[in-house]
Amino acid sequence: MQRVLDTLALLGLSGVLLVAFWYQFVEGELPCPLCALQRVGFIVAGVGLVLNLRAGYAPSHYGIALLGAVAGGSASLRQIALHVVPDTGTYGSALLGFHFYTWAFVGFGALVAYVGAMLLLFPARGDVRAPPSGAIARFACLLFLVLTAANAVAFLLQCGFGPCPDDPTGYIW
Amino acid sequence: MVMALPFVMALAAALLAYAGRRMPALVLAALTAVVQVWWLLYHATSDLSIVL
């Protein structure tokens, strides 16, 4: 059961990264620095889930997922705060009435709740248990790895070896 | 400040996690979160482009 839930959560994180890529490459909306930091938060959280699926379950793996969720949530909250005052503009397009930084904050909140629920429902019995296997879990891990690598390449192309501009207009490479 | 750095670190952590290298993956993922917060401080303390 734990493996199924972690696999679904990891697929959900990959879905978030895929939607971000869709808007970046199909809709032409380049990610801002705070958007990038929110993606990093989702990826760090995903590393904890990959550890669960590949190395066995441990509270420390959920701890890393929690760390990523809190760090990413901080970036999304900062971006919400930038635009919360009326007539201060927004960044990017909206989906179902909310901008992506708002959705990201909702996602990070859901991730924190998920980790709390998993630790309550499946308390640790000793240290790391035997790693589970399964084709869908492996697919979820590989998809997440590919999307993480694609993000690293995309931000190298967009920002090079420096900071990203606050309002990006194109790729430097 | 290299924006791609936390992505490269996270990729390395994810690869280590996939390979089952638990402790190196945990350490690298935690360091990635530290760099992420560091970069966030850099961007969160820049001038606001609004007039109140």
Shortest Cα–Cα distance, A96 to chain B (Å): 26
A contacts of B32 (beta carbons < 8 Å): 40, 43-44, 47
* Cβ–Cβ gap A67/B29 under 8 Å: yes
Predicted local distance difference test score (pLDDT) of residue A13: 95
CA torsion sign for A140, A143, A149, A153 is negative
**Mean pLDDT for each 10-residue chunk of chain B (52 residues)?**
90 94 95 93 71 49
Report d(CA A166, CA B45) in Å as an integer: 13
Judge whether residue A67 has pLDDT over 90: yes
Judge whether residue A168 has pLDDT over 60: yes
Predicted local distance difference test score (pLDDT) of residue A130: 60
Judge whether residue A9 has pLDDT over 90: yes
Q: What is the pTM of this model?
A: 0.91
Mutate to test the interface with A, among B9, B23, B43, B48 (most CBs of A within 10 A): B43
* Cβ–Cβ gap B18/A48 under 8 Å: no
Predicted local distance difference test score (pLDDT) of residue A77: 92
Q: What is the mean pLDDT of chain A?
A: 88
Nearest CB neighbour to A44, from listed B29, B43, B48: B29
Predicted local distance difference test score (pLDDT) of residue A131: 63
A contacts of B33 (beta carbons < 8 Å): 41, 44, 64, 67-68, 71
User: Is the minimum CB–CB distance between A110 and chain B shorter than 8 Å?
Assistant: no
Compute how many other C-beta atoms are within 10 angstroms of the C-beta atom of residue A18: 13
User: Is the minimum CB–CB distance between A155 and chain B shorter than 8 Å?
Assistant: yes
Q: What is the 3-state secondary structure (H, E, C) of A43-73?
A: HHHHHHHHHHHHHCCCHHHHHHHHHHHHHHH
The percentage of chain A sitting over the pLDDT mark of 90, rounded to a whole number, equals 54
Select the more confidently predicted residue: A11 or A27.
A11
How many alpha carbons lie under 13 Å from residue A88 in its C-beta half-sphere?
A: 13
Query: A34-47: per-residue pLDDT in tens?
Result: 899 999 999 999 99
Report d(CA A112, CA B25) in Å as an integer: 20
Shortest Cα–Cα distance, A37 to chain B (Å): 6
Predicted local distance difference test score (pLDDT) of residue A65: 96
Query: A102-151: per-residue pLDDT in tens?
Result: 999 999 999 999 999 999 998 876 556 666 668 999 999 999 999 999 99
In degrees, rounded to 5, the angle at the alpha carbon of residue A116 between the alpha carbons of residues A109 and B32 is 65
